[in-house]
Amino acid sequence: MRASAAIAGLGLTAMGKVYGRDQTDFAAEAVLLALEDAGLRKDQLDGLLVNLPGWAMGGGGGVGLQRYLGLEELALATNMNAGGATAGIMVQYAALAIREGLCRRVACVFADAPLRPHMSSAQAYRFTERTWQALQGRLSPTLDYALAARRHMALYGTTSEQLGAIAVATRAWACLDPRAQMRTPLTIAEHQASRWVIEPLHLLDCTLVSNGGVAVIVTSADEARALRQPPVDVVGMGQAHVGHRTAADDESLDRTPAARSGETALRMAGVGLGDLDVLELYDAFTWVVLAQLEDYGFCAKGEGGPFVADGKLGPGGSLPTNTGGGQLSSFYMWGMTPLSEAVIQVRGQGGDRQVRHAELALVSGSGGDPPAFHSTLILARGRA
Amino acid sequence: MIDALRELLPPDDEVFAAAREGRSVIQACRACGTRRFPARLRCARCGSDEAQWVATSGRGTVHSYAVVHQKLHPAFDPRIPYVVALVDLEEGPRMMALMIDTDPAAVAVGAPVEMAYERIDDDLVIPRVRLCR
């Protein structure tokens, strides 16, 4: 099936402990970098999709992004938020709108600036509203993932060392990525020795926190072939949402909604799991990677621990996953972390970490605490 | 710690009134009978906005649990390491609750628990859980 849309531009700002700029400014720079990457002028953009935590299109602390960027008239514009699933959902919405002729060139952007100087990363995402859950000690999203991981361990015998294998493989990829925030190699023993955050999760089971922004430009597949970069066709799209608010409402705490999300995307693309060359999976926690591998069907439910323990996810392994170092070791830009790396790999621009023959990539996005919203994209190297 | 705890208090309702008397209650939909926790205005199953409070046995089992080591709020920092559990109540709903009077090493998925009441002062009693003895 010929793709109706492609990713033609990618922009990433400086990432991590970058201070003195707000979310809107990171978003603007990301869009400008993506336009330059594509070889497009700002006035050629007619769509803007925004995933800025806590922000609204026209206000929320000042000038909306459209006006901050000086974009005069847009045919498509909205704020979207399904947590980490949003990056994939934005690309899907852009692709469908382009296919229907509503617009031609859509920027999809995520940015956040949760880190302040002299503040711990943990403080960046804490919950302080008056809720039953906060009163009972649920003060960060990590708690729900710890509950999910513990349940998985109790049901299936998954071990902390097996989660550590994911952290170790991801770090090995990060060591090959100049942009990654964490670039020293990691061993399972070091993972085990890292301090507890919320048992059974160690520090090295949890994502980094980063200030920064990432944007992609989505165009028609035809137009992408005429622009500056190798086109990355969007050949498969899927979503699945179960919508719970906290772990208490999650009827299936041992899994994510990836199964249905993946099935839809793979069917649309006309490919199977075995056709994929590279996986970029949402990895805010090692457990989420493990659960998605099971839920997508790479192994049976409950078998994720033994499946990852042999290191197949890392460089030189049979299932290259999170090849830029993921959210665990590279940078945390919600769903734009796996999406940006997939674009780089499919273009063949991965440098030292380039996976050979990376022509077909699966990108996942997972939102909610614990996972409640899910998106899947299948991206393919565009042919003439 | 007590003042900090008050910063996290949701609006007072029957759950806290019952706790002051050492009882536990949950909401039940008047139309279809579905039990739910925490309180909400509308039944997720049938859409009715009529509800009543029903007594619970106070017993349940651990669906999952986590041990917190992160310093995130003065109401909880002195308690580190503390256990937050998801409890399957006998009556059906799943409740998130801080475990008190419990050694974290003794907790396991499937363990039986019972309601406990943390008395802050004459006006404030907070429902918690603990392992059954």
Residue positions of A annotated with a catalytic role = 282, 332
The tens digit of pLDDT for each residue in A279-302 reads: 999 999 999 999 999 999 999 999
B81 vs A contacts (CB less than 8 Å): 196, 199
Give the pLDDT score at A62: 35
Please identify every stretch of chain B with a pLDDT value under 50, giving residue numbers as ranges.
none
Give the pLDDT score at A55: 57
Q: What is the ipTM of this complex?
A: 0.97
Give the pLDDT score at A322: 98
Give the pLDDT score at A25: 93
Kindly report the nearest CA distance between residue B32 and chain A, in angstroms: 19
The tens digit of pLDDT for each residue in A26-74 reads: 999 999 999 999 999 999 999 999 998 865 444 443 358 999 999 989 9
Task: Let me know: does A301 contact A155? Beta carbons within 8 Å.
Answer: no
The amino acid at A365: G
Q: How much is the average pLDDT of A149-153? A: 98
Give the pLDDT score at A56: 46
Given a cut of 90, is residue A260 above it in pLDDT? yes
Give the pLDDT score at A2: 65
Residue from the list A132, A140, A151 with its beta carbon closest to the beta carbon of B72: A140
Give the pLDDT score at A133: 95
The tens digit of pLDDT for each residue in A207-254 reads: 999 999 999 999 999 999 999 999 999 999 999 999 988 888 888 999
The tens digit of pLDDT for each residue in A164-202 reads: 999 999 999 999 999 999 999 999 999 999 999 999 999
Give the pLDDT score at B133: 83
A203 vs B contacts (CB less than 8 Å): none
Residue from the list A148, A199, A249 with its beta carbon closest to the beta carbon of B67: A199
Q: How much is the average pLDDT of A335-350? A: 98
Cα angle B23-B36-A145, degrees, rounded to a multiple of 5:
100
